[in-house]
């Protein structure tokens, strides 16, 4: 089950078309007495979830065939009601724990307020569970005699809807059951005939429970459904732990947002980390007030070279980028080694589909009137840019050269993909992105979409997307206009007051005469040690990241005598579910304060880290520049002076996976560690959780600045980090005192 709120964008309508008198009357009634206007509802019960692509493609085509379905009604400043393109899509998919829950969820959807200024007057809701699905079709009365249910049904069935009678919607919501082995198109056509002329139809029954009496789905059911969907784990049970299935704070952020927006369930981050099963978390739901639907502006055509502001996170990154001379310091290099032959031209086509889908990946960045802006390149102009090379076109290029490429962001696209020849004949792909367009969440999103696009292109087909996320520049423009509320700023200033500026861990830093570039080293745990660290985390109601973070902090305490550490990490920056599938740079940088003492136990340190991070997550949208300025007299010091160490985790890594070949075989690929020698921060620890063919492995990549750490100190840090992690992974480590840890 893939999930999530998967949507399709409605077709554009001529702006400002006028409604007729009957539409105006019904619209006015919907504003004054919405309870008198019940939507019409038909549904089809399916024995199993259908193939999403073809079904959603047919729903998408309805917006072209029956344009009244894809409109919004807005009362303008000129006191006239007009129809404009609806900002919300026609189709939505929700994942459920069991098919038996679907009728109640559909009945509850019928009771939801219908904002005709934001939501189109037609809505397709697919409620999918491992043991079946329910396709619900909801039609607002404002449609009148236009675009009736028979036309809608025939359109989804693949027939021409023109001329289908506008039969009245049934007073009671009806459910037709798709026979085992039957075709959905046949059932939809039969239902259309039943509405048109009363043709008898077997398997037709009222929706149960009846609308108005529908019980709300229980919190446990909703939480489990979102767990399964977010982690792609349909077999998860109510007692299974979220973090045992690869969950981490970024995924938790997504789940919490969806629980609020879809189910009206408010969950605190602290409770999520302490009670990480669906059953345990259900007992700690704070409230059930549904979140208001986000109204995302319908993006205007971005093919005209219009400049858009940067998001607040991008602005912070751009300032740091400018300070370091706009070199390669914010390059994000990856490499994939293919274990099976991959069609390089097909791969290039598939990635081009992603560039068309996500405008931020085909944007220029430049400064205008003293501010940085992003300008999407029209899809039609993509082929005039060089961003992809096959092996035959690579001309002896190396990964190191690619990693150090300096982007001219005002003229180049912010990414480069190049297949490189390998001596053993395997195919190696260098993937280079500029950080201003992508974060880790986006990277995993892209890899999932790339697999779909490659499978389609390998069959000679263009991909049909099951979602239509708003582009990143729409988010950036809205955030730039609204700003970030300063009510969260005191949380950070209170935590960090008096911490001082960052210093190297040791007093023998090589100094500016040494190269500031640096490099990286690896610390690797074997499978038993990886599992031991995960067990320690769960025994303390914490995540793997919490345990690894605590181990790295403990290393600094034992090796360098640090008792009050300011440590940086990243926060998702995505709190609005409308943008959960949008690719872009949302991530914000935050800093936490960790206090340590020799008699503190390992378990207590992990608990402190867990609670500090959980408490900070709701406040993570404040740019680090604002925090630094508030702490240091109104002007923020450079980010590399705010904290010496930065720790982040890469879990559910999609850079190890499989593409589908046309013959059904798998094309396996594995991540190759990057070739990069520049580091912005003194020390950066990247905790890599790799799950390959069911086996968990944990690695830590430690990057360092050579002007702060000599080769001897780097080796000392590497060995000490490995020793502490292995001691954390041992039996009974939670009760060990920090003073007992050997470095």
241 with 207, same domain? no
Instruction: Between 274 and 216, name the one with better pLDDT.
Output: 274
Please tell me whether residue 664 adopts helix, strand or coil conformation. coil
pLDDT for the residue 87: 66
Which alpha helices (H) appear in 575-623, and where do they start and end?
Answer: 602-616
The CATH number for 622's domain is 3.30.559.30
As a whole number of angstroms, the distance between CA 198 and CA 346 comes to 50
Query: What pLDDT, on a 0 to 100 scale, did the predictor assign at position 170?
Result: 79
Q: Is the pLDDT of residue 89 over 80?
A: no
| Nearest Cα residue to 354 out of 248, 491, 515, 465 | 465
* C-alpha span between 402 and 235 (Å, rounded): 41
Q: What is the pLDDT of residue 418?
A: 96
Last residue of a domain, one of 194, 214, 234: 214
292-349 residue pLDDT tens: 445 555 454 445 578 999 998 899 889 888 887 888 888 989 899 999 999 999 999 9
Going across the sheet that includes 519-525, the strands are 519-525, 695-704, 683-692, 645-650, 564-571, 588-595
Q: What single string gives the DSSP state of each residue in 380-407?
A: GGGGGS--EE-GGG-TT--HHHHHT---
Q: For position 392, which CATH number holds?
A: 3.30.559.10
User: How many other C-beta atoms are found inside a 10 Å radius of the C-beta of residue 307?
Assistant: 17
The answer to whether residue 597 scores a pLDDT higher than 60 is yes
Q: What is the mean pLDDT of residues 579-605?
A: 93
Count other Cβ atoms within 10 Å, centred on residue 420: 18
Q: What is the pLDDT of residue 520?
A: 86
Domain with 319 in it? 308-475
Q: Does residue 674 sit in helix, strand or coil? A: coil
The two tokens of residue 658 are 């499989």
Q: Does the pLDDT at position 446 exceed 80?
A: yes
Enclosing H/E stretch for 697:
strand 695-704
Residue 687 placed within a domain: yes
Nearby residues of 568 by Cβ (< 8 Å), 6 or more positions away: 589, 590, 591, 592, 642, 643, 645, 646, 647, 681
pLDDT at 349: 97
Does the pLDDT value for residue 357 go beyond 80? yes
How do beta strands 427-434 and 415-421 pair?
antiparallel
- Better-scored residue on pLDDT, 664 or 378: 378
- What mean pLDDT do residues 692-717 have? 86
CB 83 within 8 A of CB 19: yes
Structure tokens at 496: 């960090």
Question: In terms of domains, do 76 and 110 share one?
Answer: yes
Token output for 388: 């992809």
Residue written as token pair 């619900």? 136
Average pLDDT of the chain, as a whole number: 84
462 shares its domain with 383: yes
613 & 719 share domain: yes
Which residue's entry shows tokens 């009206």? 264
pLDDT exceeds cutoff 50 at 2: no
Regarding predicted confidence, which is higher, 76 or 27? 27
The confidence band for 50, taking pLDDT boundaries of 50, 70 and 90, is low
Is 488 a member of any domain? Answer: no
End of a domain among 236, 257, 289? 289
302: left (phi over 0), alpha (psi -120 to 50) or beta: alpha
Let me know whether 204 and 282 are in one domain.
no
The answer to whether residue 612 scores a pLDDT higher than 60 is yes
Task: Let me know whether 338 and 263 are in one domain.
Answer: no
Biggest alpha carbon–alpha carbon distance for the chain: 89
- Using a 10 angstrom Cβ sphere, with 0-12 exposed, 13-18 middle and 19 or more buried, the burial of residue 368 is exposed
507 in a domain, yes or no?
Answer: no
454: nearest Cα among 523, 539, 353 = 353
Same domain, 163 and 242: no
The highest-confidence range among 288-292, 310-314, 384-388, by mean pLDDT, is: 384-388
pLDDT (mean) for 265-291:
79
Are 722 and 702 in contact, with CB atoms under 8 Å apart? no
Distance CA 229, CA 601 (A): 36
Tens digit of pLDDT for each residue in 117-150?
A: 878 899 998 887 777 889 999 999 988 888 889 9
pLDDT in the model for residue 11: 39
In a domain, 438, yes or no: yes
Q: Let me know whether 319 and 172 are in one domain.
A: no
Are 269 and 362 found together in one domain?
Answer: no
* 214 has pLDDT over 60: no
Q: With bands split at pLDDT 50, 70 and 90, how would you rate the model's confidence at 409?
A: very high
Give me the number of domains the chain comprises: 4
Taking residue 171's Cβ as centre, other Cβ atoms within 10 Å add up to 8
Q: Residue 60 falls within a domain, yes or no?
A: yes
Quote the pLDDT of residue 326: 87
Domain assignment of residue 294, yes or no: no
Q: Is residue 353 part of a domain?
A: yes
When pLDDT is cut at 50, 70 and 90, the band that residue 733 belongs to is very high
Structure tokens at 726: 């292995």
3-state SS track over 4-41: CCCCCCCCCCCCCECCCHHHHHHHHHHHHCHHHCCCEE
The pLDDT score that the predictor gives to residue 417 is: 97
Is the domain of 94 the same as that of 119? Answer: yes
Per mean pLDDT, which range of 411-425, 522-536, 582-596, 665-679 is the poorest?
665-679
Does one domain contain both 440 and 565? no
Reply yes or no on whether the pLDDT at 691 is more than 80.
no
Note whether 282 and 337 are same-domain residues: no
Minimal CA–CA distance to 522: which of 673, 689, 330? 673
Average pLDDT, integer, range 148-176:
83
Confidence of residue 79 (pLDDT cuts 50, 70, 90): low
State the pLDDT at residue 127. Answer: 84
497 inside domain: no
Model confidence band, residue 582 (pLDDT cutoffs 50, 70, 90): very high
| Contact (CB, 8 A) for 374 and 310 | yes
Residue scoring higher pLDDT (2 or 565): 565
Q: For residues 581 and 445, is the Cβ–Cβ distance under 8 A?
A: yes
User: Looking at 241, 259, 289, which one is the last position of a domain?
Assistant: 289
451 vs 111: which has the higher pLDDT: 451
- Residue 290 pLDDT exceeds 60: no
**Can you tell me the distance from the alpha carbon of 716 to that of 354, in angstroms, rounded to the nearest whole number?**
43
* CATH label of the domain that carries residue 254: 1.10.1200.10
Paired tokens of 335? 């490499």
- Tally DSSP H helices, then E strands, for the chain: 20, 23
| Predicted local distance difference test score (pLDDT) of residue 233 | 76
With 0.85 as the threshold, say if the pTM is over it.
no
């Amino acid at each position: 089950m893939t999930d999530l709120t998967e949507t399709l964008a409605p077709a554009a309508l001529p702006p400002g078309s006028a409604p007729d008198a009957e539409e105006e009357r019904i619209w006015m009634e919907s504003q004054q007495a919405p309870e008198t206007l019940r939507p019409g509802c038909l549904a089809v019960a399916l024995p199993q979830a259908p193939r999403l692509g073809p079904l959603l493609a047919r729903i998408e085509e309805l917006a072209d065939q029956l344009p009244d379905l894809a409109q919004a009604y807005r009362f303008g400043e000129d006191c006239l009601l007009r129809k404009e393109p609806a900002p919300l899509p026609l189709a939505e998919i929700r994942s459920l724990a069991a098919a038996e829950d679907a009728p109640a969820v559909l009945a509850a959807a019928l009771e939801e307020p219908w904002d005709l200024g934001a939501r189109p007057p037609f809505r397709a809701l697919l409620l999918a569970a491992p043991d079946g699905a329910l396709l619900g079709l909801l039609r607002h009365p404002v449609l009148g005699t236009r675009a009736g249910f028979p036309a809608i049904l025939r359109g989804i069935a693949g027939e021409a809807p023109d001329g289908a009678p506008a039969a009245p919607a049934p007073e009671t919501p009806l459910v037709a059951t798709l026979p085992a082995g039957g075709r959905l198109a046949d059932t939809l056509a039969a239902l259309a005939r039943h509405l048109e002329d009363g043709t008898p139809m077997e398997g037709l029954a009222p929706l149960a429970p009846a609308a108005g009496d529908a019980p709300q789905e229980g919190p446990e059911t909703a939480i489990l459904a979102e767990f399964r969907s977010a982690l792609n784990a349909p077999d998860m049970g109510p007692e299974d732990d979220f973090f045992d299935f690869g969950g981490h704070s970024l995924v938790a952020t997504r789940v919490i947002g969806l629980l609020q927006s879809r189910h009206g369930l408010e969950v605190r981050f602290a409770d999520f980390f302490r009670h990480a099963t669906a059953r345990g978390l259900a007992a700690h739901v704070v409230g059930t007030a549904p979140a208001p639907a986000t109204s995302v502006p319908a993006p205007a055509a971005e093919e005209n070279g219009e400049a858009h502001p940067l998001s607040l996170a991008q602005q912070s990154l751009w300032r740091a980028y400018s300070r370091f001379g706009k070199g390669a310091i914010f390059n994000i290099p990856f490499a994939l080694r293919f274990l099976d032959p991959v069609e390089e031209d097909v791969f290039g086509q598939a990635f081009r589909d992603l560039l068309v889908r996500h405008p931020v990946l085909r944007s220029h960045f430049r400064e205008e009137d003293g501010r940085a802006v992003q300008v999407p390149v029209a899809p039609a102009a993509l082929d005039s840019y060089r961003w992809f090379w096959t092996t035959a076109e690579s001309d002896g290029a190396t990964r190191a050269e690619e990693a150090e490429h300096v982007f001219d962001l005002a003229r180049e696209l912010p990414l480069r993909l190049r297949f490189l020849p390998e001596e053993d004949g395997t195919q190696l792909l260098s993937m280079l992105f500029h950080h201003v367009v992508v974060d880790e969440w986006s990277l995993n999103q892209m890899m999932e979409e790339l697999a779909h696009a490659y499978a389609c292109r390998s069959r000679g087909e263009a991909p049909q997307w099951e979602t239509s996320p708003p582009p990143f520049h729409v988010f950036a423009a809205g955030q730039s206009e609204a700003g970030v509320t300063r009510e969260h700023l005191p949380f950070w200033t209170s935590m960090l007051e008096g911490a001082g500026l960052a210093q190297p861990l040791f007093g023998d830093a090589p100094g500016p005469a040494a190269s500031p570039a640096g490099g990286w080293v690896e610390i690797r745990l074997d499978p038993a040690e990886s599992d031991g660290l995960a067990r320690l985390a769960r025994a303390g109601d914490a995540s793997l990241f919490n345990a690894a973070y605590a181990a790295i902090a403990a290393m600094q305490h034992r090796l360098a005598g640090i008792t009050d550490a300011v440590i940086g990490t990243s926060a998702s920056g995505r709190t609005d579910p409308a943008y959960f599938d949008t690719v872009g740079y949302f991530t914000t940088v935050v800093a936490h304060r960790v206090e340590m003492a020799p008699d503190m136990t390992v378990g207590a340190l992990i608990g402190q880290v867990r609670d500090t991070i959980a408490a900070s997550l709701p406040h993570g949208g404040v740019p680090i520049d604002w925090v630094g300025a508030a702490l240091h007299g109104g002007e923020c010091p450079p980010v590399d002076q705010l904290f010496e160490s930065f720790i982040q985790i890469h879990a559910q890594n999609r850079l190890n996976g499989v593409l589908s070949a046309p013959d059904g075989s798998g094309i396996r690929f594995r991540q190759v560690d990057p070739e990069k020698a520049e580091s912005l921060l003194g020390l950066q620890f990247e905790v890599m959780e790799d799950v390959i063919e069911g086996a968990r492995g944990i690695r830590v990549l430690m990057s360092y600045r050579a002007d702060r750490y000599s080769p001897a100190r780097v080796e000392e840090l590497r060995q000490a980090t490995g020793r502490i992690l292995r001691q954390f992974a041992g039996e009974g480590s939670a009760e060990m005192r920090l003073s007992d840890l050997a470095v």
